[in-house]
Amino acid sequence: MLGTDAAAIARLRASLAAAAYDSTGFKRALGQEGYVPKAGERPAALAELDPADPLAVLIPLFLLELPVRRADAERVVDVADAVALGLVEDGAEVRPLVRLVPSGHAVFAADLEHAGGHEHVLGVTPSSALLGNLASRHPVERALDLGTGCGIQAYLLAKHAERIVATDVNERALDFARFNLALNGAAGVELRSGNWLEPVSGERFDLVLCNPPFVISPESRYTYRDSGLPADELVRRLVEDIPGLLEEGGTAQLLLSWIVRAGESWADPVAAWLEGSGCDALLLRYRLDSPRGYAEHWNRGDDAAIQGWVEWYEELGAEAIAYGALALRRRGDGGGFVIAEVAADRLEPAGDHVHRILDAQALLAEASDHDLLDRNFTLSHDHLLQQALVVRDGGWEVDVAVLRLQEGLGFEAEIDAFTASLLARLDAGITLRAALEEAVAAVGRPRAELHGAAVPLVRGMVELGFLRIR
């Protein structure tokens, strides 16, 4: 169990800060942005550090899980404090008992690579970074981190939520979360133990974040990974039950994997789970794997496990397995459903874009086509129009035109000359009706044809966040 002595934690925090034990310091020491070496590695860049540099001691000890000489450790941290807090084992060499992994200017303790067994606690992972980047950061009164793990989402919530509840069924995870929140100075977080929604039964929140054990696995090896329920049953229950935790206008965001069976599109299963939820929804798909590809991803190099997982998927009738994120907004009898595919390696901050898409569903549900014709619109500030030209009949013509959003979810859409002309006029501040008349004259196509296409086009652009309604 990690220690809770506030004074010792404060001294540790000061020592880590003085050593630049953060993402900026790691880039300098390791030569790569966001690079976190595996346990036991010795990156070449680390060997080039001045031995007097504190990172030359701290990175091997707390990141690479390697023992260091006690005299070296004592130069950069108070070893007695580190022992009392349960971070190291003392002796002629100081040996790590936890990993300390930076995320920005924060640092999160987690289990060593082979520690913790069934209750192993991960640190900052690509999935936790993804959820952190997708989460809305608008100020809220009450927030919930459902399945907090090492506590990173609760830490981020503490920056914009007045009161936070963070829950986990894994007591070991709550121990790490408690320590990490103290280490990073996050206040206003109440930690509760219990299975999924049980610790918050009957309560409602303005924002709910959830990074569950979403892996579709025939095992129950790790609490953080395997739900112990068949197929995608856990995420189905969460998708169906989380709306009941939301205040009117409240938002929930969670990561999920789900099975796609024969005859289904990749979005069909989640759409079915959302029926009658009273929520508008945005479903993002980051990957769509074959059963074998999914099994290989989670069992690298273990051929026996891969084959066992593949056979289990065959029994379930899985044609493919999807991985993505779901954002919900509670709105009366809302039932909007927007789907999009996103590049698997895109980890940009996108909370504002997600918030904008959920806002747009409410606006579009209340606006008739006639209403939209008399509204004003503006392009998202981060738009970029890229054109590829070809020579035809002695002149340059546009072959392909793509409108891209450079921030957020990075959506893109191919557009034609009429759409480009219409969007430019809308951004100039005139109504859709007036912009249509000008665009009709500019492109020389029949008015009825363009009017019939324009309103659905604009709805789609608003729905995905390319356009905003003024």
Place of tokens 């959830």: 210
State the Cα–Cα distance between residues 380 and 202, nearest whole angstrom.
39
Residue ranges, CATH 3.40.50.150, the chain: 117-366
Q: Is 413 exposed, middle or buried (0-12, 13-18, 19+ CB in 10 A)?
A: middle
Q: Tens place of pLDDT for every residue, the chain, 470 residues?
A: 899 999 999 999 999 999 999 999 988 888 877 677 777 777 877 788 888 999 999 999 999 999 999 999 999 999 999 999 999 999 999 999 999 999 988 999 999 998 999 999 999 998 999 999 999 999 999 999 999 999 999 999 999 999 999 999 999 999 999 999 999 999 989 999 999 899 999 999 999 999 999 999 998 888 888 888 889 999 999 999 999 999 999 999 999 999 999 999 999 999 999 999 999 999 999 999 999 999 999 998 899 999 999 999 999 999 999 999 999 999 988 889 999 999 888 888 999 999 999 999 999 999 998 899 999 999 999 999 998 888 888 888 788 889 999 999 999 999 988 888 889 999 888 999 998 888 877 777 777 777 778 899 999 999 999 999 98
Residue ranges, CATH 3.30.390, the chain: 369-469
State the Cα–Cα distance between residues 452 and 434, nearest whole angstrom.
15
- Write the CA distances from 203 to 178, 242, 328, integer angstroms: 22, 11, 17
Counting Cα atoms < 13 Å in the Cβ hemisphere of 187 gives: 2
Beta strand ranges found along 169-298 (DSSP E): 189-193, 205-210, 246-261, 279-289
Counting Cα atoms < 13 Å in the Cβ hemisphere of 396 gives: 4
Helix, strand or coil for residue 26? helix
The pairing of strands 88-89 and 93-96 is antiparallel
The pairing of strands 246-261 and 205-210 is parallel
Q: Using N-to-C axis directions, what is the helix angle for 351-366 and 447-463, rounded to 10°?
A: 130
191: Cα separation from own chain's centroid: 22
DSSP string, 284-352: EEEEEE-HHHHHHHHSTT-HHHHHHHHHHHHHHTEEEEEEEEEEEEE-TT---EEEEE--TT-----HH
- Write the CA distances from 151 to 100, 136, 225, 377, 429, integer angstroms: 13, 17, 16, 40, 45
State the Cα–Cα distance between residues 346 and 356, nearest whole angstrom.
19
State the Cα–Cα distance between residues 14 and 408, nearest whole angstrom.
34
117-366: CATH superfamily: Vaccinia Virus protein VP39 (3.40.50.150)
Token reading at 468: 């905003």
The CATH class that applies to domain 369-469 reads: alpha beta
Taking the CA atoms of 54, 57, 61 and 65 in sequence, report the sign of the dihedral they define: positive
Percentages helix, strand, coil for the chain (3-state, rounded to 5) are 40, 25, 35
